[in-house]
Amino acid sequence: MSDAYLALEDGRVVEARGRAPGRTRGELVFTTAYTGYEESLTDPSYEEQVLTFSYPLIGNYGVRDERFESDRIHPRAAIAREFTDDVAEWLESEDVPAIDHIDTRDVVTSVREKGAMKCGIAVGDDVTPEDAKAELAKCKGMSEHTEIGAQVSTVEHQTYQADGEAIADVALVDCGAKLSIVDSLTQRGANVHVLPHDTTAATIDELEPDVLFVSNGPGDPANFGDAQALVEEFVGDVPLAGICLGQQIIARALGGTTEKMAFGHRGVNQPVRDLNTGKVVMTTQNHGYTVGEPGDLEVTQVNVNDDTAEGLENDDLNVITRQYHPEAHPGPHDSLGFFDDVLGMVDTDSRRVVVSD
């Protein structure tokens, strides 16, 4: 085991046990999920952040790559009360610094009271508190990464065939998409075309999709101008859907606003109320921004805890979005019907016939 230090933006430096060596910095956030650590660590929405697990033991059922949501770990570092050796070795193999033997309850409480904060981490045999402070100092004056989409998006068009007979073609704009979104669509009979975040309108025209879907992803939705431009171009002509960051991008394209939250929603037990039915479902969430004003969209679902917008719709324009993750890996499956609603927007009478290879 090596030395480790965590320097926080509030001035504290916390000593820890090093589990994977390295030095890094980023925005400190936490998740309340007590399972699904593989899915969380491979979720592109955590890009450039330092992820703290509030559940005390992380790794008690090993590491299996079939649970991954992408091809790599995305947080810059990971923090837990205790990591098992399996998880620590996985983090080290991907050069992601990790620390444990830390009071994560105190860290989470600080973030809840003071908001998401920057931090610096130093792990190694000879590191000192000053090394962690030096990493934190590199954060000061830095704005959020405006090119973050390029770090998490596919670089080329990828097609996933429907399970069985195809009933729709979905153009998925990849702003950091989870693989579970693709799986949820293909399982329901959609061919899914995963496209770069900066895909052009000409590419969409050539594909002639039945649905244009904007994915989840990291950071500020204002940094995804190309995806927003696609929404502005095709709204009213092609049914639109979005999850998490996708909801925010679509709202901005339709005259709405977005804003940064104090510490965001990250976990698997966020209650959401449907305003039409009054029904409350538990949801999985991972976002630090939210929709302020919905623009041309109607708020149909809200978070029970803070009334932030969780669902937006416009029947006339064929738009439906969710702030949470209906595909829910990890988490409850209360909202999987969202994908049925998305494919329900497809006009089957006018749909072109697609012959799969």
Residues with a catalytic annotation lie at 244, 325, 327
CA distance 326 to 339: 8
Report yes or no: 77 and 51 within 8 Å, Cβ to Cβ.
yes
CA distance 68 to 40: 8
E strand intervals along 73-185:
77-79, 82-83, 98-100, 117-124, 158-160, 168-173
Which helix (H) or strand (E) is 134 found in, with range? helix 129-137
CA distance 112 to 120: 19
Query: Where does residue 105 rank: exposed (0-12), middle (13-18), buried (19+ CB within 10 A)?
Result: exposed
Is 59 marked within a binding site?
no
Residue 223, SS3? helix
CA distance 152 to 193: 16
Give start and end residues of each alpha helix (H) in 187-277. Answer: 201-207, 225-234, 245-253
Is 286 marked within a binding site?
yes
Is 245 marked within a binding site?
yes
CA-based end-to-end distance of the chain: 53
CA 240, 246, 247: angle at the middle one, nearest 5? 80
Structure-token match 């965001």, residue found: 264
C-alpha count within 13 angstroms, C-beta hemisphere, residue 127: 31
DSSP secondary structure string for all residues of 140-153: TTPPP-TTHHHHHS
DSSP secondary structure string for all residues of 254-267: TT--EEEEEEEEEE
For the chain, how many residues are written? 357
Is 219 marked within a binding site?
yes
Is 289 marked within a binding site?
yes
According to DSSP, the residues that pair with 322 across neighbouring strands are 243, 311
Is 189 marked within a binding site?
no
Asked, as a colleague might, if the bond just before 271 is cis with ω within 30 of 0, I would say no
Indicate the annotated binding residues for L-glutamine.
Answer: 45, 217, 219, 245, 248, 286, 288-289
Which residue positions form the known binding site? 45, 217, 219, 245, 248, 286, 288-289
